[in-house]
Amino acid sequence: MKKFFCLISLIGLMACQKPSAPIDYTVGLHYVGSVWVEYNGETYENKDIEVSFTLSDDGKSADIQINGIRFVPQMPVTVDTVLPVTVSGNGEGYTFTAHNVYPHSPAGAEQNKYIINNLSGMVSEGMLSFSLKFGAYPTSFTGFPK
């Protein structure tokens, strides 16, 4: 009988919980993970890289911003770069693509040294992942909420 009352109480508590609010992707969600870059026959892993995903107000595009990355050890400085993508999906999560576009700085200046091709990925509350080519260099990211 004691177990029965505990079970009824647990069900009652779950029924009283408010449903979680929908995720607002337009405010920018932040993820931390690794960026892998293939360069000159080697794959380099950049750990603990912060990447944000910010959906446009109309829900048709988004910016993916990679912060403080040195894509390969030979790079003299770290950079922040923004990848503009086309989006499809709903409030539960989105898929995105980009082809033949240039990244830009957070301030908006086009970074036309490495064109983006074959970018595809997905974002949800629990994960952000994508792969692309920066020029001829295959690059990918997988990260989890910060």
Predicted TM-score (pTM) of the model is 0.82
The two most distant CA atoms of the chain are separated, in Å, by 72
Per-residue pLDDT tens for 75-130? 899 999 999 999 998 878 899 999 999 999 999 999 988 899 999 999 998 999 99
Non-local CB neighbours of 45 within 8 Å, separated by 6+ positions: 34, 35, 36
Average pLDDT over residues 67-72: 92
DSSP bridge partners of 101: 116
Q: With residue 11 as reference, give the H or E element that holds it.
A: helix 2-16
- The CATH T-level fold of domain 22-145 is Porin (2.40.160)
Tokens of 112: 């036309």
With a cut of 60, say whether residue 40 has pLDDT above it.
Answer: yes
Provide the residue ranges of all domains of the chain, joining segments of one domain with +: 22-145
What's the length of the chain?
Answer: 146
